[in-house]
């Protein structure tokens, strides 16, 4: 197993397969952004399969496919099938904005993707358009219906809660998710890049208390997917609401994940700059033993915690460049 200097077991890797996205969410990518990675620098499928196979031999059990918008990467279901077949990988999931999901949901399910996280910050069409820069609500809802029909469970809805932007929409989305049997995850906006730094985050503590009172939510001990959310469940156990609080109540002491960007850079923390580049090793003839040693060296760089509150302007790269 991989352990960092602080005794945390690192068994979860989030793999960005592209930094491109068809939306421009206000907290992620600015309108007109063109600073994307050159396609020649993207890790190829063979390189991804080899590197993730070595991670799996070192104890990585969970892989999440992210972006950008991962469904913009050509032949993604084929890559998903190759990853799902790697010995040691027990859980393969995907994060998406949902705009392409109606087309790909059956293929992804057949390829071995078991769980989905879908970004949806409101059920109000105008609010969604303001946040994403696109009138995409119908596409996302259609994608959710297709994912449900394809047998995905659980389906998690990620809502970034922003003061004076969509905070008035939280209760409506919670009711929708409970009705549909989805898992709603409320997320405090993080100051990543200029877009994130210009977004006013919302303390989820009072929101959790309000939703618990309205829907009779009870604390849930069961973890859902190895991530940082703290979950509350409806009395009938049919639906859950999770709260991800990197700003008001960080969870760094239990962090079990690292992020591999599309160009093969391993980021050890969203809120710090420590990184390790694997593309030169993969394309320079390094042996598996050398890459394994590099992975262990990279994990040693993982910092104890982020500094979102004390150094909110520190991270200038955008979320899509790191990997979601």
pLDDT at residue 125, rounded to an integer: 98
Per-residue pLDDT, 55: 98
For the chain, the domain total comes to 1
- Note the pLDDT of residue 87: 98
What CATH number corresponds to the domain at position 239?
3.20.20.70
Q: In this predicted structure, what is the pLDDT of residue 222?
A: 66
Instruction: Answer whether 250's CB lies under 8 Å from 193's CB.
Output: no
Which pLDDT score, from 0 to 100, does residue 225 have?
65
Q: From CA 285, how far away is CA 290, in angstroms rounded?
A: 10
Instruction: Give the model confidence (pLDDT) of 227-277 as tens digits.
Output: 788 999 999 888 899 999 988 988 899 999 999 999 999 999 888 889 999
- Domain assignment present for 205: yes
Whether 1 is in a domain gets the answer no
Has residue 2 been placed in a domain? Answer: no
Instruction: Please state the three-class secondary structure of 290-314 as a single string.
Output: HHHHHHHHHHCCCCCCCCCCCCCCC
With respect to residue 4, please indicate whether it lies within any of the assigned structural domains.
Answer: no
Is position 163 within any domain?
yes
Q: What is the pLDDT of residue 35?
A: 84
For the chain, give the mean pLDDT.
93
Residues of the chain below pLDDT 70: 221-225, 309-310, 312, 315-316
Indicate whether 6 belongs to any domain.
Answer: no
Domain that holds residue 287: 12-322
The reported pLDDT for the residue numbered 145 is 98
User: What element of type H or E holds 206?
Assistant: helix 204-215
Rounded to an integer, what distance in angstroms lies between the CA atom of residue 170 and that of residue 306? 27
pLDDT at position 84? 98
CA 262 to the chain's CA centroid: 14
Q: What is the pLDDT of residue 190?
A: 87
Cα–Cα nearest to 255, from 300, 304, 222: 304
pLDDT recorded at residue 85 = 98
**CB of 25 within 8 A of CB of 55?**
no
Distance between CA atoms of residues 211 and 217, nearest Å:
7
């Amino acid at each position: 197993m991989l352990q960092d200097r602080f005794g945390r077991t690192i068994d979860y890797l989030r793999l960005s397969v592209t930094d491109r996205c068809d939306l421009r969410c206000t907290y992620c990518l600015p309108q007109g952004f063109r600073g994307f990675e050159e396609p020649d620098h993207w890790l190829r499928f063979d390189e991804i399969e080899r590197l993730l196979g070595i991670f799996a031999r070192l104890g990585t059990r969970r892989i999440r496919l992210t972006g950008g918008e991962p469904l913009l990467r050509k032949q993604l279901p084929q890559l998903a099938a190759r990853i799902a077949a790697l010995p040691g990988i027990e859980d393969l999931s995907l994060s998406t904005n949902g705009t392409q999901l109606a087309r790909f949901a059956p293929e992804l399910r057949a390829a071995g993707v078991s769980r989905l996280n879908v970004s949806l910050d409101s059920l109000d069409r105008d609010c969604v358009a303001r946040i994403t820069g696109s009138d995409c609500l119908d596409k996302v809802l259609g994608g959710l219906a297709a994912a449900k029909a394809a047998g995905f469970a659980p389906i998690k809805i990620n809502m970034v809660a922003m003061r004076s932007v969509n905070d008035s929409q939280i209760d409506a989305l919670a009711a929708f998710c409970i009705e549909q049997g989805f898992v709603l995850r409320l997320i405090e906006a993080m100051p990543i890049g200029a877009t994130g730094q210009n977004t006013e985050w919302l303390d989820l503590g009072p929101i959790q208390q309000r939703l618990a009172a309205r829907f009779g939510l009870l604390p849930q001990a069961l973890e859902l997917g190895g991530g940082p959310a703290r979950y509350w469940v409806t009395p009938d156990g049919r639906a859950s609401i999770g709260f991800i609080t990197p700003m008001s109540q960080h969870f760094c002491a239990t962090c079990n994940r690292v992020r591999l960007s599309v160009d093969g850079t391993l980021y050890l923390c969203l809120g710090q700059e420590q990184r390790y580049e694997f593309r030169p090793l993969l394309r320079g003839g390094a042996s598996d033993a050398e890459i394994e040693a590099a992975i262990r060296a990279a994990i040693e760089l993982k910092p104890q915690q982020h500094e979102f509150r004390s150094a909110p302007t520190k991270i200038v790269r955008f979320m899509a460049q790191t990997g979601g």
